[in-house]
Amino acid sequence: MAKLKIEDLEKITEEFKRKMTLREGAGRVKITVHLGTCGIAAGARKIMNSFMEEIEKSKATDIIMTTSGCAGLCSREPMATVEVIGNAPIKYVDLTIDKVKIIFDKHVMKGAFVQEYALSVGSEKIQ
């Protein structure tokens, strides 16, 4: 194995950052895709994958991607909750891949939530 140089420490850290961010639960944004039976039937997995692709593309390391079960609004699936830490979480409904791109761009990356796709704003509070 090659001898480590000081620069290598940063490289390794960068490489493992996302894993660690997830572990520490300390990201800037948390995206929860609701993967209940209803969600999966409505294509939530596709939504999740496209979120992941977006994360990949953006090279962001401070986004936590996670899943949860049914959120109770089966008719509006696929759904996802985006929570910029410190702000109230926003639930997006009836998602498509295109919508995901826009949400990711505007809300996740820039912090401005996308009203037209959101279920409602202010229905949830900061935990």
Partner 1 sequence: MKPYTIQLMICAGTGCVSNQSFEIKEVLEKEIKKHNLQNEAMVVTTGCNGFCGAGPIMVVQPDGIFYQYLKVTDIPYLVEEHLVKGRPVKKFMYVPPKEEIPIPRMNKIPFFSGQTLVALRNRGMIDPEFIEDYIARGGYRALAKVLTTMSPDEVLKEIKKSGLRGRGGGGFPTGVKWETCKKIPGDRKFVICNADEGDPGAFMDRSIIEGDPHSVIEGMIIGAYAIENVREGYIYVRMEYPLAIKRFNIAVQQAKDNGLLGDNIFDTNFCFDIKVRRGAGAFVCGESTALMASIMGNPGEPRAKYIHTVEKGLYDCPTCLNNVETWANIPQIVLKGADWFTGIGTGDVTHDPWGGSKGTKVFSLAGKVNNTGLVEVPMGITLREIVFNVGGGIRDGKRFKAVQTGGPSGGFIPESLVDLPVDYDELTKVGSMMGSGGMVVLDENNCMVDMAKFFLRFTQDESCGKCVPCREGTKRMYDILYRITKGEGKEEDLDLLEELSNMIVESSLCALGGSAPNPVLTSLKYFREEYLTHVRDKKCPAKVCRELLTFSIDPEKCLENGHGCGVCEKNCPDGAIYGEKKNVHFIDSMKCGKCGVCFDVCKFGAITVE
Binding site for partner 1 (CB under 8 A): 1-6, 9, 12-13, 15-25, 27, 30, 34-37, 48, 52, 55-56, 64-70
86 versus 116: smaller Cβ distance to partner 1: 86
Least Cα distance to 103 among 117, 86, 120, 89 occurs for: 117
Which is nearer to partner 1, 23 or 110 (by Cβ)? 23
Cα–Cα distance between 29 and 14 in angstroms, integer? Answer: 18
- Cβ nearer to partner 1, comparing 69 with 112: 69
CA 53 to chain centre: 11
91/31 Cα distance (integer angstroms): 10
| Closest approach of partner 1 to the CB of residue 116, in Å | 26
